[in-house]
Amino acid sequence: MHCSGPLAGLTALLTLVAFPVQIKTDSTVSTELYGDIENTEYGDFESLSQTRERQQHLCHREVPSVFFQTERDSPVRGNGSTIYFHRIEVCCAGYRRDPYANECVPDCSASSPDNCRNGFCRSPGVCECFAEFVRNEHGACIHTCPIACQHGRCYLNGTCVCHQNFVLDQETRQFCRPKCSQSCGTHEECVAPGQCDCSPGYRRTPDLGCQPVCAPDCGFGKCVAPNQCECFAGFIKRPNWNVCEAECYLNCENGLCESRYKCHCREGYRYDVNTTSCLPECSDNCGQGNGVCIAPGVCRCFRGYEVHGAECRPKCESRFCGKYGRCVAPEICGCGEGQQHCRNGSCDDIEHCSCPSGETHFIDRCLKADRLSQHLNTSEKRKHFNRQLAYEFNALIGRLFNF
Ligand SMILES: *[C@@H]1O[C@H](CO)[C@@H](O)[C@H](O)[C@H]1NC(C)=O
Ligand SMILES: *[C@@H]1O[C@H](CO)[C@@H](O)[C@H](O)[C@H]1NC(C)=O
Ligand SMILES: *[C@@H]1O[C@H](CO)[C@@H](O)[C@H](O)[C@H]1NC(C)=O
Ligand SMILES: *[C@@H]1O[C@H](CO)[C@@H](O)[C@H](O)[C@H]1NC(C)=O
Ligand SMILES: *[C@@H]1O[C@H](CO)[C@@H](O)[C@H](O)[C@H]1NC(C)=O
């Protein structure tokens, strides 16, 4: 075991101290803010790229740039309306990205349970069944006779005869629906023989029978039909957003504008002044900022960190830190009380950095002695060791003096 103390390198380093440091300051912080989700709008004079976007059903969306951060100490400067937003291209509402063709195609998933399988989704929510298929009461394209008939059987002449307690769909005469002896209530339909339940988009309430569902909640308004809100006096809906709010200048994404200046965040979100929006909240800020909170309670860790429950902790993969060490930063074990850094080594039972055979401990790491010059061949590296030397001094000795 070779364990040279950190002070061994001190004389070699004294000549390296003091290099000019350039600090770049960011003086161009924009304060302009626009709406949170912007759909591209087309005037009379559209540019070529706008035409392309419209033909391809591409819209723009502003996403908090913090969601794009992958390195702990390099925040992302957004290219959106402010530096706190990235402006990205997404498929417009009603379209989805086809992963095979990588283009935006109409989406029928809201009106067809299996997204228009056995049919052609012509435009958002409009599913046209292929020949020999018919739309059933749930919007799915199902086989017709002579192949099959839902809740019935096919005769050779092509007609569908329903099983007991089912009746032929009056409009298509191609499939059978369950039969209810008494007629079902308001916003109800016959879902199985003799059984009524709420129609799609409605939910049973204890007092008022089946009531329409609006998701998200209407806010300052009333849900009058599935996903249709009627605002209370003085409240408005923003473009492409079916929620009633006060008129306000804040983005207030994941929240509700209560007044001109107040954004009330949904549960699991907290207000962020930079984006004037609500960002998801994670306990302990994902481990003192070692990751970014991408959904309530869900951290995505920065490079070099891994998720432990609800926080991100540094990862020390190259070597196990040992019984007496603790991973203090990515690939850096900390030994003993002062957590003396031990990169590429592990901590032994006398709280020293123990290096693999053939390597020696130099300030904060283990290295092969003949490689030392390579570790000092740029001013950046020398600066690192100068900073690190101060840290190690404090970790080992400084704390004894109670600075
Ligand atoms: C902004 O940055 C995002 C993320 O890197 C990128 O996908 C997008 O194309 C950029 N937008 C513009 C308008 O440059
Ligand atoms: C088809 O055949 C069934 C059973 O033989 C018969 O009841 C029905 O009337 C026939 N329909 C037509 C359109 O010929
Ligand atoms: C707002 O952004 C600045 C950097 O532009 C950052 O220092 C600050 O921590 C951010 N504030 C919050 C609440 O995230
Ligand atoms: C030493 O650690 C660094 C990361 O700090 C790693 O990239 C490198 O591969 C390690 N070297 C050895 C010899 O384990
Ligand atoms: C410094 O040493 C590294 C090997 O550790 C080598 O890759 C690099 O080219 C050297 N840089 C200079 C400026 O000599």
Q: Which of 43-47, 175-179, 364-368 has the lowest mean pLDDT?
A: 43-47
Q: How confident is the model at residue 188 (pLDDT cuts 50, 70, 90)?
A: very high
Q: Would you give the DSSP letter of residue 286?
A: H
| CA-155 nearest atom, ligand 2 | 2
pLDDT at 11: 32
Q: Which amino acid is at 58?
A: L
Domain-embedded: residue 92: yes
Which of 197, 90, 200, 198 shows the shortest CA–CA distance to 136? 200
Last residue of a domain, one of 74, 106, 138: 106
Distance CA 302, CA 40 (A): 32
Q: Give the Cα separation of 278 and 280 in Å (integer).
A: 7
Residue 48, both tokens: 């070529």
- For residues 257 and 249, is the Cβ–Cβ distance under 8 A? no
371 CA to centre of ligand 5 in angstroms? 10
State how far the alpha carbon of 90 is from the alpha carbons of 41, 124, 183, in Å: 14, 15, 45
Testing ligand 5's pocket by substitution, the residue of 344, 362, 365, 377 carrying the most ligand atoms inside 8 A of its CB is: 377
| Position 322 in a domain | yes
Q: Is residue 308 part of a domain?
A: no
pLDDT higher than threshold 80 for residue 23 = no
Query: How much of the chain exceeds pLDDT 90, in percent?
Result: 58
Please indicate, yes or no, if residue 168 is contained in any of the structural domains.
no
DSSP state of 184: P
Segment among 162-166, 273-277, 284-288, 290-294 with least mean pLDDT: 284-288
Angle (nearest 5°) at CA 79 between 76 and 82: 90
Least confident residue range of 174-183, 332-341, 389-398: 389-398
Handedness of CA 98, 103, 109, 112 (dihedral sign): negative
Mutate to test the pocket of ligand 4, among 344, 346, 362, 381 (most ligand atoms within 8 A of CB): 344
Query: Which amino acid is located at 181 in the chain?
Result: S
pLDDT higher at 18 or 178: 178
Q: Compute the distance from residue 73 Cα to the ligand 3 centre, in Å.
A: 13
Whole-number Å distance between alpha carbons of 160 and 146: 8
| b/e per residue 99-136 (b: at least 16 CB within 10 A) | eeeeebebbbeebbeeebbbbebeebbebebeeebbbb
Q: What is the C-alpha separation between 315 and 307, in angstroms, rounded?
A: 9
- Residues framing ligand 2 (Cβ under 6 A): 155, 157, 159
Ligand 2 mean position, distance from CA 118 (Å): 27
Ligand 2 atom 5: residue of nearest CA:
155
Measured by CA distance, the residue closest to atom 5 of ligand 1 is 86
Report the SS3 class of residue 297: coil
Q: Is 42 a residue whose pLDDT tops 50? A: no
Closest CA to 340 of 397, 402, 400: 397
Residue 205 domain-assigned (yes or no): no
Taking the model in full, what pTM does it have?
Answer: 0.70
Helix (H, G, I), strand (E, B) or coil at 135: strand
Number of domains in the chain: 2
Q: Does the Cβ of 123 fall within 6 Å of ligand 5?
A: no
Q: Which neighbouring-strand residues pair with 147? A: none
Other residues' Cβ atoms within 10 Å of the Cβ of residue 32 = 6
> Is residue 272 domain-resident?
no
From 320, 331, 357, 374, the mutation candidate for ligand 4 (largest count of ligand atoms within 8 A of CB) is: 331
Q: Which atom of ligand 3 is nearest to the CA of 83?
A: 5
318 lines ligand 5 (CB under 6 A): no
The residue among 106, 135, 170 that closes a domain is 106
DSSP string, 39-105: -----SS--HHHHHHHHTTEEEEEEEGGGG--STT------SSSTTEEEEEEEPTTEEEETTTTEEE
Q: What would the pLDDT profile of 315-337 be if each residue is shown by its tens digit?
A: 887 557 877 788 888 888 898 87
Most confident of 20-34, 159-173, 385-399: 159-173
Question: Residue 78's domain spans which residues?
Answer: 33-106
Q: Does the residue 289 lie in any domain? A: no
In a domain, 259, yes or no: no
Boundary (domain end) residue, out of 72, 106, 140 = 106
In this structure, are residues 333 and 346 in contact, taking their beta carbons and an 8 Å threshold? yes
